[in-house]
């Protein structure tokens, strides 16, 4: 924010904010909230603005498009932004094209959202799954302590199980990807208790430890990752790419 304030003091607001008229004769800001706040801090009384008539769905889409273009955006912010945009597109599509089924509308909306963000349809759905996480687990994803792919897996469990998973992580450290894969069969188990979950995690941990390890040498990794990448960052990227590959195989 301070950098933006200094930039505005030197150059002014270069990109106009976007407004739409409301029913009370005033205006609602769609995008440019940070620019407005920074301009006030810089002492400006006026800034350039574009005024455009927009429906609620159009306003939501424009707001999301502006938000996700920021240089730094948390996974949680991106997840809820993409969900808002997809909901708006689904709502707009359900009114304008009655020949499409609900699932077809969602399919086309996910493709449109993904195309705008430079990501695939499957990745759009993965981000949106993060909105089903409890706030504590979502914070772990934002803090890069929990891989996005792992967060997606956790999102399929009910809120009680998610709370127990967070408590287990807090007390015992991060859960392995293999352990979560083993727990997939219990997603719909409404009889799950905290003690049973702990027992399953301990059991699956001992099972996965006996499996053969696949070793990728540092020489191979250097072909694909800069030297400043940490081991955790490399692991997270590899897991996300494997999840993407797996999802693509399931779609075929």
Residue boundaries of the structural domains of the chain? 2-54, 56-132, 215-252
When the pLDDT of each residue in the chain is averaged and rounded to a whole number, the result is: 83
Question: pLDDT digits over 39-84, tens only?
Answer: 999 999 999 999 999 888 888 888 877 776 665 788 998 898 888 8
What confidence score (pLDDT) does residue 95 get?
Answer: 47
What confidence score (pLDDT) does residue 31 get?
Answer: 85
Nearest CA among 34, 24, 90 for reference residue 57: 90
Question: pLDDT digits over 191-239, tens only?
Answer: 899 999 999 888 877 665 455 567 888 888 888 888 888 888 888 888 8
- Contact assessment for residue 137 and residue 166, using Cβ atoms and an 8 Å cutoff: yes
| Residue 237, token pair as written in the block | 């990227």
What confidence score (pLDDT) does residue 111 get?
Answer: 81
Spatial separation of the C-alpha atoms in residues 242 and 15, rounded to whole Å: 39
What confidence score (pLDDT) does residue 70 get?
Answer: 62
Average pLDDT rounded to a whole number, residues 149-175: 92
Phi-psi region of 49 (alpha: psi -120 to 50; beta: other; left: phi over 0): beta
Spatial separation of the C-alpha atoms in residues 90 and 93, rounded to whole Å: 5
Q: Kindly report which listed range (4-13, 34-43, 103-112) carries the lowest average pLDDT score.
A: 103-112
Nearest CA among 163, 232, 170, 151 for reference residue 193: 163
Q: Say what angle helices 56-67 and 75-96 make with each other, to 10 degrees.
A: 150
Say whether pLDDT at 99 is over 50.
Answer: no
Spatial separation of the C-alpha atoms in residues 84 and 90, rounded to whole Å: 10
Q: Which DSSP symbol is given to 207?
A: H
| Residue 114, token pair as written in the block | 């993904």
Best CATH choice for the domain 2-54 from the list 3.40.640.10, 3.90.1530.30, 3.40.50.300, 3.40.47.10: 3.90.1530.30
SS3 19: strand
Question: pLDDT digits over 13-48, tens only?
Answer: 888 999 999 888 899 998 888 889 999 999 999 999
Which long-range CB contacts under 8 A does 56-63 form with residues at least 24 apart? 56/88, 57/88, 57/89, 57/91, 57/92, 58/88, 58/92, 59/20, 59/28, 59/30, 60/84, 60/85, 60/87, 60/88, 61/85, 61/88, 61/89, 62/18, 62/30, 62/31, 63/30, 63/31
What confidence score (pLDDT) does residue 6 get?
Answer: 92
């Amino acid at each position: 924010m301070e950098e933006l304030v200094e930039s505005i003091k030197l150059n002014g607001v270069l990109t106009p904010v976007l407004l739409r008229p409301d029913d009370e004769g005033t205006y609602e800001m769609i995008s440019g909230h940070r620019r407005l706040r920074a301009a006030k801090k810089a002492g400006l009384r006026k800034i350039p603005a574009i005024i455009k008539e927009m429906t609620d769905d159009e306003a939501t889409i424009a707001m999301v498009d502006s938000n996700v273009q920021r240089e730094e955006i948390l996974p949680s912010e991106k997840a809820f932004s993409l969900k808002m945009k997809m909901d708006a597109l689904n709502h707009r599509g359900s009114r304008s094209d009655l020949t499409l089924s609900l699932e077809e509308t969602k399919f086309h909306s996910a493709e449109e959202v993904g195309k705008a963000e430079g990501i695939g349809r499957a990745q759009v759905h993965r981000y949106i799954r993060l909105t089903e996480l409890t706030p504590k687990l979502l914070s772990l994803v934002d803090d890069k302590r929990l891989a996005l792919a792992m967060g997606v897996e956790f999102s399929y469990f009910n809120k009680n199980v998610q709370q127990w998973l967070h408590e287990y992580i807090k007390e015992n450290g991060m859960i392995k990807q293999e352990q979560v894969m083993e727990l997939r069969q219990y997603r719909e188990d409404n009889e799950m208790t905290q003690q049973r979950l702990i027992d399953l995690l301990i059991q699956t941990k001992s099972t996965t430890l006996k499996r053969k390890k696949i070793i990728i040498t540092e020489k191979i990794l250097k072909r694909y990752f800069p030297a400043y990448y940490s081991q955790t960052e490399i692991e997270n990227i590899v897991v996300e790419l494997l999840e993407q590959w797996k999802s693509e195989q399931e779609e075929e």
